[in-house]
Every structure is written in structure tokens, then in C-alpha cells.
Amino acid sequence: YAAVASVALLISIGLWKYVTDNQGELNILIEAPLAQTREVLLPDSSKVWMQKGSSLRYAKAFLKDRKVWLKGNSFFEVMRQNGVPFQVYINQGMIEVKGTSFDIHQNQNQQTNEIILFCGKVDFTAENHETIEMQPFQKLTYYIKKDNITKEWLRNIKYKNGSFQFTNLPLKQLIETINSRYNSNIKLEGINLKQQSAFTGKIRLEESLKDVLQKICYSLSLEMKANGNEIIIYKNNH
């Protein structure tokens, strides 16, 4: 069974490759296309929802040594397997999973790693740091350049059966969550955040960014428009 764990994902045709490491051992490399997301079922029945442009590598003998190396952002739903831990290696850090569901965001430009835990337990270890145990509904941010780690509690967010449930989530926090999950650049314009209603609703993992924003705008009576690489969400007062 999965004790359910980021931030979008459609099942799509990705790229599977066999690669060898420095010791010549055979590994499996999975890549999500640059323009699409991908859902992957690992040999132990764990699920990974890979963001576009992400890649995942693991050994052919994965069932004996459940280690994966992730580039980019992905959401994990890990099957518990007694005696065989599940480890995710990311930039400058490692997450050891104990049957859980969690989100990983790696920002190469800002040199940050974010882990958001929704269910179960994970241990995060950064280089030259002690291991940190995370509890459900905690967000850990590792600032690589500053060599600093922060941890905070999530509010108004729950996860169940492949969906995020938001309850009275402030719009600013919602947009920050969406930008992190979809690696998007959404900005708010001309909105009085003190007067704006908070968002209550459900967002499924497989929903596209466009569908999510349409749902938010409809719920909160807002409009959106594209401005180059940005998406502007605004209030139409006419």
C-alpha cells in the first residue's frame, strides 16, 4: 500500500534510455519531454509525476536498492517496503523516504531545493548538515549558496488520492504554490489582496496549468492574460 506524499501531470510519451555509470553498471534513465509532464510507475509500484524537462535515473536492480537520482521537479507517491528504504538524490542533498507522498522542487537559478511532505515521514540530508526529519504538512527549503535550511508548516492544504485540497488559501500563497509546482511565472496585478476572497477547491495532479488557472479565475471572479513569458492575473472592474 502507499502511505500517500511537492507541485500537474499528464501521462505522456517520454524517453526511456539505458545508460551506464562510471563503474559500467546499467541504469535506466527516464526523461519527461520539455513541453509535457509525465507519470511514471517504478518497478516497486511507486509513482512519480515528473514535471516537464525533468529526468529520473535508477539502477536496473532497483528492487534490491531503491535509489533514484532526480533532476528537475517531481511529485512522489512511494510504496512502503519493509527493509528496503527509498532514497531520492537531488542537487546537494538526499531524501530518505519511509512510505509517503511528497513534492520536490529544484530551482537551479536561485540554487534552492524545496521538499513538501504531505503524508508519512522523510529524512532530508544536505552536504555537511545533520539529517532533518520532516513531519506531514511541513515544507523544507535548502538555500544552497547560503548553506541554510528552513522548515515551516503548511496551512490550508491537504492531499488525498492524487488531489490537493485547498481551504480558504490566500491568493498570494496560492499563486506562490502554483508557480513552484508548475515552474511558472504568474503575477498578480491590480488586486487588493486584503479584500480578495481566499480560494477553496481541489486541484488534481494531472491537471494542466491552463486548467488550474481557469478554475482559480472562475472561482474568484478574476481574469488572466499572457504577457511574454508571464501570466498576469487581474481583477476586471468594468
pTM for the complete prediction? 0.74
Short-list 37, 109, 110, CA closest to 75: 37
Say whether 194 sits in a helix, a strand or coil.
coil
Question: Cα angle at 161 between 155 and 165, to 5 degrees?
Answer: 30
Question: Which pLDDT belongs to residue 24?
Answer: 47
Question: Which pLDDT belongs to residue 201?
Answer: 93
What is the C-alpha to C-alpha distance for residues 188 and 176, in angstroms, rounded to an integer?
11
Name the CA radius of gyration of the chain, rounded: 18
What is the C-alpha to C-alpha distance for residues 116 and 215, in angstroms, rounded to an integer?
23
Instruction: For 116-132, give one letter per residue: b (16+ CB within 10 A) or e.
Output: bbbbbbbebebeeeeeb
Q: Partners of 104 in the beta sheet?
A: 74, 115
What is the C-alpha to C-alpha distance for residues 148 and 154, in angstroms, rounded to an integer?
19
Number of continuous H segments (helices) and E segments (strands) in the chain: 2, 21
Question: Which pLDDT belongs to residue 121?
Answer: 86
Question: Which pLDDT belongs to residue 1?
Answer: 35
Question: Which pLDDT belongs to residue 10?
Answer: 26
Query: Which portions of the chain are predicted below pLDDT 70?
Result: 1-26, 99, 238
- Over the stretch 110-149, which tens digit does the pLDDT of each residue have? 889 999 998 888 999 998 889 999 998 899 999 999 999 9
* DSSP3 helix / strand / coil % (the chain, rounded to 5): 10, 45, 40
Q: Are the C-beta atoms of residues 219 and 199 closer than 8 Å to each other?
A: yes
Please state whether beta strands 86-90 and 112-119 pair in parallel, antiparallel, or not at all (unpaired).
Answer: unpaired
- Over the stretch 194-207, which tens digit does the pLDDT of each residue have? 888 899 999 988 88
Say whether 116 sits in a helix, a strand or coil.
strand
Question: Which pLDDT belongs to residue 5?
Answer: 38
